[in-house]
Amino acid sequence: MNPKRLALIVSTLALLLIAIVAVISANSNSSNISSFSIGNGQGPSIGSLAPNFTLPIVDYQNTPKKSGNISLQSLKGQPVILSFFASWCTECRTELPLLASAAKTEKGRISILGIDSGDSLNSAISLLNQDHANFLVGSDPNQEVSGSLYALRGLPYSVFISKNGTVTAKYLGALTFSQLSSEITKMGGLPLKPQS
């Protein structure tokens, strides 16, 4: 093969690879994600019904319900924000106070259901007490819901579900104030007030 032609092919392939990496980086909020993979990243698509599950409730200081199980089906009829997190996830720690504020503002209008994924119960309780969480949390220590049903690729991961059980939005990475406020407003909730 002609050396000039070979150089042109190699240069073109290198530029193509750089472009692909740039596009992937631009579409990922990777600074707000604790990467791991327990699923294929597909999970329920927007517009589909959110898969039902039942998990034991994490009994922590401010939990609205102290024991038993929680199922997604039991919340049907009210919009739901599913928030997947873990105590070891730095970005999750950033997001929890924002979710606690939203839970307080939206009480009775929108349910927030945390899913503690792959954690020990003691670690989850410690995190929730420390960050003054105030919403229901289910324990998913073996990542059956996180992996099999919702196919997570990283944490935190949020799924917004309409009152009829349809997935309306999904976010991989820590939610920003504006993202959460916008989704809550779309669900019929009150606009969030900025935290001081």
The pLDDT of residue 7 is 63
Those residues whose C-beta lies under 8 Å from the C-beta of residue 66, and which sit 6 or more positions away, are: 57, 59
Highest mean pLDDT among 9-13, 40-44, 136-140: 136-140
In the chain, what percentage of residues exceed pLDDT 70? 80
- pLDDT tens sequence across 117-168: 999 999 999 999 998 899 999 999 999 999 989 999 899 999 999 999 999 9
Assess whether pLDDT exceeds 50 at residue 21.
no
| d(C-alpha 39, C-alpha 24), whole Å | 19
- Strands 54-56 and 69-71, by their bridges, are antiparallel
| d(C-alpha 149, C-alpha 59), whole Å | 23
Alpha-helix runs per DSSP H in 56-168: 90-106, 121-130
- Omega into 156 within 30° of 0, i.e. cis? yes
| d(C-alpha 143, C-alpha 149), whole Å | 9
Pair of tokens at residue 76? 């049907």
Least confident segment among 23-27, 108-112, 148-152 = 23-27
The pLDDT of residue 9 is 67
- Spacing of C-alpha 51 from chain mean position: 15
